[in-house]
Chain A
Amino acid sequence: MLDLMTAEFNFDASSTAPSKEELLARVAEGDQSAFGELYDQIAPRVLGLVKRVLIDHAQSEEVTQEIFLEIWQTASRYESQRGGASTWIMTMAHRRAIDRIRSSQAGRDRDTKIGIRDLAVPYDHVAETVEVKIEHERVAKAMSRLTELQRQAVSLSYFSGYSHREVADHLHIPLGTVKTRLRDGLIRLRDELGVGS
């Protein structure tokens, strides 16, 4: 079910480079150079996502370090039949970023920074590669098919790291409504992005 995404994720890797799945299998056997290669391939993606959530660069590098140590420690638990290596890693990355945010100090620091951030420019302006632009447009298009309310709830939780209770508080709506919006919103995105089959 993940073939599509995996293919896109590897879009930026040269065809001769070993796949992330192969590298992860070697990492599970203690291969440090494979770990280095995997890091080179995906660390900017991981840091990009973590920084999108945490805002603070130094803290994001710290969390990225924790994520890669977890990859090293748990590579043997990755099951390729359950999805691509990138999916496994990015899911772990997002969860780690959220864990950090839920620690109260990090949350307070972040709230200050979020206050400063221009919310109208949600993407870091580093040089965007072609594939990032393509993905960005694809996701933006899919997001545009959500209702404004769904989009708001999904963005607040995925990119800003709000829990569903915080989303409810923030938007002054009942928790049950938030649950529905998040689920319906993701289902719509799934269908628009062609995830699953």
Chain B
Amino acid sequence: MSGTDKPDNDLAGNGSTDNPADLAGAYALHALSADEAAEYERYLTWSEEARVEAAELSDTAVALSLSVAPVQPSSGLKASLMAQLATTPQLAPLTTAADSVKPAGSAAPTDAPPAATPFGSASSRVAEAAPASSDDKGSAAGQGSAGEKGSAGNQGSAAERAQRRWFQRPAGYLVAAAAAAALFVGGTFAGQALYGDPSQDFAQVQAASLAEINAAPDSQRASTQTLEGQDATLVWSGELGLSAIIVDDLPALGDDQDYQLWYIGSSGPVSAGTFDSDGSGTAWRVLDGTMSAGDAVGVTVEPAGGSEQPTTDPIVAIQS
């Protein structure tokens, strides 16, 4: 069995009589302490041969990772990450050859966050400020299409029926496929330092809120599908009274329509803000207002700016 092994006759080695080259394997496997790794890296700076070996053994370690079965992350993980990009600064490219000698970890982050908005760039317009005023034409068109949807009267699929007129029913009826998994995702978030900064824009507030919900000790989530079959996830924290909805591949609406969010509790639907999707990737929005225990969350398509009460059937409803 040990035919090809070097006889273990170097057992005298007890770690103190070191030839630094012996650390090559442990280094590649990340089996050294920080001090030991630093010592080995000093050795690497003056041995080209050792650098080649270190690179090859490191690549060999990566090859081991190829044999591990992939595991699909929860859908909330990607949304949470995407939400943090806008507020996570990136290192500037290295420009000089001298700089490139520095280990990657030693450079300080640049402090200019890239100008970017989260997917589903949200509108903070609220329902009360709704139709009539600025956008008569758009509103009219929106109402028209809402009317068509409302009066279609077809039986539709079971899922469709289940979601129809959800806002007129006790929330308990909505449970449907909402399999709540008490899944804690996230912990430390780079965006947290931004809280309380009055100059931050809406996107940053949204990103910070989503991160906060994900990080809450009582963070929970429930998933279902929209009428069109897109995956929709509600993530919420009862302690914070906050929730966010995350929908994969949500189509973009025209200028005359918005998606509107609703908290539905015992007293009926309450608007929780509007948003649109950019049509690619994952759209998400932290709901305005406060979530109460047992509230369901629904999404309808409404005229731009939102409505005071839902005027269409929800594309998705999720029970918290």
List A contacts of B59 (CB < 8 A).
1-2, 5, 83, 87, 190, 195-196
A51 at the interface (CB under 8 A from B): yes
B148 at the interface (CB under 8 A from A): no
Establish whether residues B185 and A61, one from each chain, have CB atoms under 8 Å apart when the complex forms: yes
Establish whether residues B31 and A45, one from each chain, have CB atoms under 8 Å apart when the complex forms: no
Contact of B25 among A61, A132, A182 (CB under 8 A): A182
A189 at the interface (CB under 8 A from B): yes
Which of B92-100, B224-232, B238-246 is found at the contact surface with chain A? B92-100
Please, which residue of chain B has its CB at the minimum distance from the CB of A99?
B30
Establish whether residues B30 and A167, one from each chain, have CB atoms under 8 Å apart when the complex forms: no
- Mask, B66-95, CB within 8 Å of A = 1, is 111111111001101110111011111110
Most buried by B among A157, A175, A176: A176
Which of A15-23, A62-70, A108-116 is found at the contact surface with chain B? A62-70
Establish whether residues B116 and A32, one from each chain, have CB atoms under 8 Å apart when the complex forms: yes
> In the complex, which residues 27-70 of chain B have their Cβ closer than 8 Å to any Cβ of chain A?
28-33, 52, 55-70
B158 at the interface (CB under 8 A from A): no
List B contacts of A51 (CB < 8 A).
71
Establish whether residues B116 and A30, one from each chain, have CB atoms under 8 Å apart when the complex forms: yes
How many positions in chain A have a CB within 8 Å of any CB in the partner chain? Answer: 95
List A contacts of B190 (CB < 8 A).
69
Establish whether residues A68 and B10, one from each chain, have CB atoms under 8 Å apart when the complex forms: no
Establish whether residues B71 and A124, one from each chain, have CB atoms under 8 Å apart when the complex forms: yes
**Bound-complex Cα distance A125 to B70 (A):** 9
- Mask, A182-195, CB within 8 Å of B = 1, is 11111111100101
B201 at the interface (CB under 8 A from A): no
Q: A52-B68, A158-B64 are in contact. Are A79 and B78 (CB under 8 A)?
A: no
Please, which residue of chain B has its CB at the minimum distance from the CB of A87?
B62
Q: A182-B25, A186-B57 are in contact. Are A177 and B70 (CB under 8 A)?
A: no
B183 at the interface (CB under 8 A from A): yes
B1 at the interface (CB under 8 A from A): yes
A117 at the interface (CB under 8 A from B): no
B267 at the interface (CB under 8 A from A): no
B23 at the interface (CB under 8 A from A): yes
B12 at the interface (CB under 8 A from A): yes
Establish whether residues A73 and B13, one from each chain, have CB atoms under 8 Å apart when the complex forms: no
**Bound-complex Cα distance A5 to B59 (A):** 8
- Mask, A9-48, CB within 8 Å of B = 1, is 1000000000000000000101011011001100111011
Establish whether residues B60 and A190, one from each chain, have CB atoms under 8 Å apart when the complex forms: yes
Contact of A65 among B65, B66, B77 (CB under 8 A): B77
State the 3 A-B residue pairs at the shortest beta-carbon distance, nearest first: A176-B13, A182-B25, A183-B25
The contact sample of 11 A-B pairs, CB cut-off 8 A, is A66-B188, A95-B30, A128-B69, A136-B66, A136-B67, A138-B67, A161-B30, A180-B10, A180-B13, A187-B25, A195-B59
